[in-house]
Amino acid sequence: MGCHGSVWTGSFDEAGLRTAFRGTAEAGFDLVELPVFDPQSWPVELTRRLAAEYDLATTASLGLTDDVDISSEDPATVRRGEDHLRAVLQVLHEVGASHLVGVIYGPMKKHQRPATEREVRNGQEAMRRLATYAAALGIRLGVEIVNRYESNIFNTAAQGRVYVEEVGADNLGVHLDTYHMNIEESGMFAPVLETARCLEYVHVGESHRGYLGTGTVDFGSFFRALQLVGYRGPVVFESFSSAVVDPDLTATLGIWRNLWRDGADLGAHASTFIRSSLRAVETLDL
Active site residue ranges: 144, 238
In order of 105, 123, 182, 190, 200, the CA distances from 221 in angstroms are 28, 33, 12, 9, 19
Single out the segment in contact with ligand FUD by CB under 6 A; choices: 80-88, 109-117, 119-127, 144-152: 144-152
CB 184, CB 194: distance < 8 Å: no
Q: Does 238 bind ligand FUD (CB under 6 A)?
A: yes
Q: Which is nearer to ligand FUD, 3 or 103 (by Cβ)?
A: 103
Measured CA to CA, the distance from residue 79 to residue 66 in angstroms comes to 12
Q: What CA–CA distance (Å, rounded) separates 5 from 110?
A: 23
AA identity, residue 122 = N
Choose which of 85, 88, 103, 204 interacts with ligand FUD (CB under 6 A). 103
CA distance 24 to 89: 23
Stretch that binds ligand FUD, among 39-47, 58-66, 91-99, 217-225 (CB under 6 A): 58-66
Rank residues 62 and 167 by Cβ distance to ligand FUD and give the closer one. Answer: 62
Site for ligand FUD in 22-41 (CB under 6 A): 35
Q: Which is nearer to ligand FUD, 63 or 76 (CB)?
A: 63
In whole angstroms, give the CA distance from residue 286 to residue 266.
31
DSSP 255: -
Of 82, 177, 185, 200, the residue at the interface with ligand FUD (CB under 6 A) is 177
Residues that bind ligand FUD (CB under 6 A): 4, 35, 61-63, 102-103, 144, 146, 150, 177, 203, 238, 253
